[in-house]
Amino acid sequence: MLLTWFFSKIQDEFRGGKINVERTYKLLEKLDIQCNYVHVKHIFKDNDRQKQGKITIEEFRSIYRIIAHREEIVEIFNVYSENRRILFESNLIQFLTQEQYEIETTESIASEIIQKYEPIDEVKKAHQISLEGFTRYIYSSECLLFKQECTKVYQDMTYPLNDYFISSSHNTYLVSDQLVGPSDLWGYVSALVKGCRCLEIDCWDGSQAEPVVYHGYTLTSKLLFKTVIQAIHKYAFMTSEYPVVLSLENHCSTAQQEVMAGILQTTFGDSLLSDILDDFPDSLPSPEALKFKVLVKNKKIGTLQETRERIGSDKHETYENLLSRDSQGKETETKKALPVTLFSKKKKIRKLKIALALSDLVIYTKAEKFRSFQYSRQYQQFNENNSIGETQARKLSKLRVNEFIFHTRKFITRIYPKATRADSSNFNPQEFWNIGCQMVALNFQTPGLPMDLQNGKFLDNGGSGYILKPQFLRDIKSKFNPNDSIKDNDPIAITIRLISGIQLPLSGSSSHKPDTLVIIEVFGVPNDHMKRQTRVIKKNAFSPRWNETFTFIIQVPELALLRFVVENSGLIAGNEFLGQYTLPVLCMSKGYRRVPLFSRSGESLEPASLFVYVWYVR
């Protein structure tokens, strides 16, 4: 039956005689077998007995079996098959419940799988699944490591904004380094497509009363503020319907700030939040309440109530804000001054002008300079957010971790890379997620470990860019400290059997077949950080078999990420990166799973993947 089906599918291709490698590749695709062209070329060469660059129908059959009938999958199939040819519906249910932990599997679910993946009609009609169908099921998205439930928004989105981790980018307009690289709209578009919800816009005065976006005092190219806002408007809610925050790094004159305010209002219209929501006069709204809304983050004059009273009035004026400090260290404000520190070391007062029209667009995301945790506890308002540089934040997280966590429970806190990172490199965001910082802003244009962690973390909750913080980072009574040994938490024990690699990426630096190895690493609180490595399999990227088992005990799984990295072992130049995959520990499915691999820049390398068996208990 299998042979009849197989030959009926391919014989037309061979009517004109032998076929070349291109047609072989296309025929494999027609048979729903995902394959990497370079791997097909290698296997084609090994099976082309005449070495003429063309193969017979029998040689194609050999190639098909090498690619489609992988030993490790045949072994699993044979365990559940009574005759090693097919699985009855009852056998499939047994496999799904015992191995895949699909506890609620019913006949209708098994029947659905058969209908979807079994290519042989007679087998399908008999409610059975052949090795062909079983293989296609194992290779499908249903058997990926990432839990299907986590691909949708499943978390409660009605908590206040400060209770969420928010996907955030730094200098979003740059697509390379910070000094001479180009500014590009693609920076904004690609960040939004990745689910980023907080974008940074560095605004400066441009010619002909047109504000521009670029990295000031550098040779980076310039974009018109107007075109940036138009691009954001187009892509803002393509990936996620939850609010977008525009973090303005505002260096413009008041005249051009008014132009900016006009552009924001005309481009976004009703999507722009320009007044408090009636249900949230003195607390931060939830992502749910702010769906499809754009929020402006900037300095602000006066109170939200005063802003509301000015709605509809002429705002063509500015306030010159002056701050003076009296002998008790308290602050007196003149002319509704901004509550920000504007002192040099010599306590001179610096004047700062803000256009009222722009100020009034700032509602729940008012930029407020961070002074101290004590000051914030006494004076900071619910709608004021702080931006803290990574160096200061790291110091505070070591010296005053409990105060820092208390602060992030109440106020949105943004962490940004230090100015010396001229190459647009990134810090490890995990250390700041561990203390509840909502907006950990990274240079999205720079691939590497930090962006792998960022992309992996925000896969969760449907890639919406908002992830509800764990209870212990929201609850005022919690004594959580990521640097201490954790008591009263619910640890998880994970066992991963790394079975094999499937069509792994080939080395970019060598024509030789790579010597492959896999590193599995846990990122989370410091005590949970662990790293394990497989042995090296020589000259095999097509189907390396490791069959190695690793166990991880993770104390704080709510903050933990798991990263798989495939490398080509190198003695002289060190190991070469081939692909990686990162995901939250609590988003893993149990059973036989495929781990899809991604390139350094975050592109899918399908069908390259790892085949694993996962089991965990909490």
Task: Give the tens place of pLDDT for each residue, 243-269.
Answer: 999 999 999 999 999 999 999 999 999
- Distance CA(26)–CA(33), nearest Å, equals 10
215 is catalytic: yes
Model pLDDT, residue 215: 80
pLDDT in the model for residue 283: 97
- Which among 170, 233, 251, 407 is annotated as catalytic? 170
CATH hierarchy code of domain 492-617 = 2.60.40.150
Distance CA 609, CA 598 (A): 9
Which of 60-69, 123-132, 417-426, 513-522 has the lowest average pLDDT? 417-426
Query: Model-level pTM greater than 0.85?
Result: yes
CATH fold label, 2-68: Recoverin; domain 1 (1.10.238)
The answer to whether the 2-68 and 71-143 domains have the same CATH topology is yes
- Whether the predicted pLDDT of 323 surpasses 50: no
93 confidence band (pLDDT: 50, 70, 90): very high
Averaged pLDDT of the chain: 90
**Active-site residue identified among 69, 127, 215, 512:** 215
Confidence of residue 222 (pLDDT cuts 50, 70, 90): confident
With a CB cutoff of 8 Å and minimum separation 6, the contacts of 603 are none
- For the stretch 11-24, pLDDT in tens is 999 999 999 999 99
Give the per-residue SS3 of 269-332.
Answer: HHHECCCCCCCCCCCCCCCCCCCCCEEEEECCCCCHHHHHHCCCCCCCCEEEEEEEECCCCCEE
42 Cβ contact list (under 8 Å, min separation 6): 513, 542
Tokens 């561990």 map to which residue?
434
Which percentage of the chain shows pLDDT scores above 70? 91
Chain segment 41-75, per-residue pLDDT in tens: 999 999 999 999 999 999 999 999 999 999 999 99
pLDDT tens profile 544-580: 999 999 999 999 999 999 999 999 998 777 899 999 9
Give the amino acid at 491: P
pLDDT of residue 573: 78
Q: How many whole angstroms separate alpha carbon 127 and alpha carbon 401? A: 59
Q: What is the CATH number of domain 71-143?
A: 1.10.238.10
What is the structure's pLDDT at 342?
Answer: 40
> Is the pLDDT assigned to residue 218 strictly greater than 90?
no
Q: What is the pLDDT of residue 325?
A: 31
Residue 376 has pLDDT above 80, yes or no: yes
Q: How far is it, in rounded angstroms, from Cα 401 to Cα 309?
A: 40
Q: Which of 143-147, 209-213, 319-323 has the lowest mean pLDDT?
A: 319-323
Is 251 one of the catalytic residues?
no
Residue 341 confidence (pLDDT) above 60 = no
* Region 163-319+358-473: CATH code: 3.20.20.190
Whether the per-residue pLDDT at 307 is higher than 80: the answer is yes
Domain residue limits, the chain? 2-68, 71-143, 163-319+358-473, 492-617
